Structure 1
Amino acid sequence: MTILAVIFAALAAALHVYIWVLESFRWTEPATRKTFGTSESDAQVTRPLAYNQGFYNLFLAIITAVGLVLLGSERGTGAALALAGTGSMLAAALVLVTHDRSMARAAITQGTLPALAVVFLLLQL
């Protein structure tokens, strides 16, 4: 079970690094605007907010990655950090879909890997 937990948590972290890049550095690019359903004018206005939000995604990825690194030597601490990161990712996806049902696809994209990671991390405790 641990290998599945590591795989899903690592993939979730990688996805959130990608989201960080999109939100913090590519927010006004046409492809990114299309992905997030944002107009050019709205992207310009929301750019500072997206930049900040992107870093939240990066920090969750870092917390998860540090947890995975520590799983080998400090199992309890590593699991706690990996759960904190992936659990927060999952919670954010749930907030997204409960706030706006039209965001279900985005929430599924954002939340599936963390959900699987949380399940397998809990099973390996």
Structure 2
Amino acid sequence: MLIIGSVFAGLAALIHVYIWVLESILWTRESTRRTFGIPTVEEAETQRTLAYNQGFYNLFLAIGVAVGVVLIWTDGLRPVGLTLALFGTLSMLLAAVVLVSSGPGRLRSAATQGTAPLLAAVFLLAGILAG
């Protein structure tokens, strides 16, 4: 179970690194604006600082999860790794729940953002319970 959980946690981290790239680096590009439903460059510019900041939250969660996964497989550090990976993936999952609650039309984005963290947390917890 820990192997499957680690794979989904790694996938969740990669997705959140991609979100960081979109929000913090490529925010005003047409394809990024289309992804986030931002119709004009001017509107994207207005939101640039907020998106930049939010992107880094996603990056930091991804780093925490990635470090956790590495520590899960490091002798003597499994409890620390599980704690980091679970905290990070559950934070990602809760952020997806917040996204859904923020308005209509966000379900697809929330599913993209939250499915891998959900599966990671489920399998990591199952691995813990299995001993």
TM-score, normalised on structure 2? 0.93
Partners of 2:62 and 2:43 lie apart in 1 by 27
Q: Tell me which amino acid in the other structure corresponds to 2:8.
A: F
* Displacement after TM superposition at 1:41 (Å): 1.8
Is 1:7 equivalent to 2:7 in the alignment?
A: yes
Paired residue for 2:30?
A: 30
Paired residue for 1:19?
A: 19
Partners of 2:31 and 2:88 lie apart in 1 by 27
Partners of 1:83 and 1:119 lie apart in 2 by 9
Across the aligned residues of Structure 1 and Structure 2, the Cα RMSD in angstroms comes to 0.7
* Displacement after TM superposition at 1:2 (Å): 1.0
Q: Tell me which amino acid in the other structure corresponds to 2:2.
A: T
Partners of 1:100 and 1:79 lie apart in 2 by 33
Q: Tell me which amino acid in the other structure corresponds to 1:61.
A: A
Paired residue for 1:119?
A: 122
SS at match of 1:102: coil
Structure 1 stretch displaced more, 101-110 or 23-32: 101-110
Partners of 2:20 and 2:102 lie apart in 1 by 21
* Displacement after TM superposition at 1:98 (Å): 1.5
Is 1:79 equivalent to 2:82 in the alignment?
A: yes
Q: Tell me which amino acid in the other structure corresponds to 2:25.
A: F
SS at match of 1:124: helix
* Displacement after TM superposition at 1:79 (Å): 0.3
Q: Could you list the per-position Cα deviations for residues 25-61 of structure 1 after superposition, in whole angstroms to 9, with x for gaps in the alignment?
A: 0000000000111122210100011000000000000
Is 1:104 equivalent to 2:107 in the alignment?
A: yes
| Aligned residue-pair number | 125
Structure 1 stretch displaced more, 94-103 or 53-62: 94-103
Structure 1 unaligned blocks of 5 or more? none
Q: Percent of pairs identical after alignment?
A: 58
- Post-superposition, which runs of at least 4 consecutive aligned residues in structure 1 deviate over 6 A? none
Paired residue for 1:46?
A: 47
The structure with the largest alpha-carbon Rg is: 2
